[in-house]
Chains A and B, each alone.
Chain A
Amino acid sequence: MNLIRDVLDSQLVDSNNQKMGKVDGLVMQLREGEQPRVTFIEVGSITLARRVSARLGLWVARLNERLGGARHREPFRIPWSKVAITGVDVTVGVDAEETPVKDWQRWLRRNVIGRIPGA
């Protein structure tokens, strides 16, 4: 397996087979005298912004905290142990609806889209 090629930026699918974003970042742990290992994958706008520039990352983190509270201050992390590479997509053993990742879509559904007739 090639981390950058097969994992980073791949479609992320949750335990209910729902699309839950992309693998926006990878977290690795460096250990003295041992092989480095992947510990988490990261999902969300903060990670994406950090990939563009560190300053943009700071701004987006601050904005996310203001809009969504402390739960959105840091990028959402999924432990590597819950990750499975399934062909084209990366499947994780979590329920997207219980994570902060889908908070904004839920908010949108409740307060905007859901209020328009016919939604």
Chain B
Amino acid sequence: MKKALEITLGIVTSIGGFLEVGSLSTAVQAGAKFRFQLLWAIALGTICIIFLVEMAGRFAAVSRHTIPDAIRERFGFGFFLIPLTVTLLVNFLVMGAEIGGVCIALQLLTGISFQWWALPVAFAAWLMMWKGTFGVIEQGVSALGLVTLCFVVAALMLHPAWTDVGKGFLPTLPGHDRASYWFIAVSILGASITPYLFFFYSSGAIEDKWDESYLPVNRVVAGLGMSFGGTIAMAALIVAALVFLPRGVTEINSYDQVSVMLTPVFGHWGFVLFAASLGIACFGATLEIGLEQAYLIAQGFGWNWGENLKPKDDPGFALVYTIMIFLSSLLMLVGIDPLKLTLFSMALTAASLPVTVVPFLFLMNDERYVGQHRNGIIGNAVVLFIIALAFVLAVVSLPLEIIGGSS
């Protein structure tokens, strides 16, 4: 009975936690510009994150280690500095984009420019971490995140031609805007396969004191939860394709354009639903990344850590998330364009994947950590293939995008 409840909670959490600023804006860009043609990228990214989340949960449950903790132990401090630095930097940018998403939602609702919201949003997120427990953050915010299901409802109500949708799952070469096609594909992969997501998940498994009896729960939560999450991102792409393309909008340059994507279906409420989805999803992601930054450092250096402890019992941990939230909010305060920052940081995430995922795969094949629960050949192959693809695409398309100006 307890396990059934946990499965439900876990799936709710993943659905509510999957869609954030990255998945949403990359999916919308893809739909507006290339109709259903990039659905394959969301599918591929979702498959990869299913495998990685399952592995992260299995790793934590069997080895009782978190991932950063084990990477340092297995590969030594010198090596650990590489994934540590890269992840902190990428998370810094991604958290800036997530805070930006909340600010934009508030701008849409109030008309007050997003820059003014940067510090209040950062403060609200900080307060949640300061006072909240892990359960409150994980379940409360994610349950609210179910509002993002409105994209699925909208996609169904727009009656897409399902055979055309189906064709989008087979990768095809673009007929126009080649550079932009690959850049969006990379951003989608980066938005789906976010290291903070599965790192966070493994810390959660330790916070919730998982053991080997949780392996079936873990499998179901990873598989169903991430699939549902991916479905919401796909729905956002389908809605964008059906709403923007017929109206001649093929370039999405700002969130103002995106904000009306649900109005053809829901009328004025569509606007409110969009703002609520964006705001809630991004606020949840801000909390997760803020905590993940603190987990990463505390676990890597062996400090006391835990969202269920009072700040005075883990002062180092509390200090890290306080500083990190403040730093990331500066990106919005100085007025960096949230949409551009989002796309850029998602592509950068894709480029950084090998640094975190490859050492993690080594751990997943190491009997000393996971014993008989080692990875099978399929898991290894699928993850390696998708990570390699994301990395190559990122390395090729990021410079092109920077030179060509992000238009």
A residues at B contact (CB < 8 Å) = 4-5, 8-12, 18-22, 24, 48, 51-52, 88, 104-105, 108-109, 112-114, 116, 118-119
Contacts and interface: CB of A to CB of B under 8 A. Distances in A.
Contacts of A10: 73
B186 to A, nearest CB: 33
Contacts of A21: 301-303
A19 B318 contact: no
Given A22-B72, A52-B81, A108 B303 contact: no
Contact of B319 (A18, A19, A52, A112): A112
A40 to B, nearest CB: 17
B131 interface: yes
A114 B302 contact: no
B290 to A, nearest CB: 16
B315 A105 contact: yes
B3 interface: no
Given A10-B73, A22-B72, A109 B312 contact: yes
B376 interface: no
B81 A113 contact: no
Interface of B: 63-65, 69, 72-73, 76-78, 80-81, 130-131, 301-305, 310-312, 315-316, 318-319, 368
B303 A105 contact: yes
Contacts of A9: 72-73, 76-77, 80
A19 B66 CA distance: 14
10 contacts: A4-B76, A9-B76, A19-B305, A105-B303, A108-B316, A109-B312, A113-B312, A113-B319, A118-B130, A118-B311
Contact of A119 (B73, B77, B81, B318): B318
Q: Which 10 A-B residue pairings sit nearest by Cβ, starting from the closest?
A: A22-B302, A108-B315, A21-B302, A113-B315, A119-B311, A109-B315, A119-B312, A9-B73, A19-B304, A105-B315
Given A9-B72, A51-B78, A113-B311, 8 more contacts: A9-B77, A52-B78, A108-B316, A113-B312, A114-B315, A118-B311, A119-B130, A119-B318
A24 B315 contact: no
Nearest to B126: A116
B79 to A, nearest CB: 10
A118 B131 contact: yes
A51 B78 CA distance: 7
A102 to B, nearest CB: 9
Nearest to A2: B368
Contacts of A22: 72, 301-302
A11 B69 contact: yes
Contacts of A119: 130, 310-312, 318
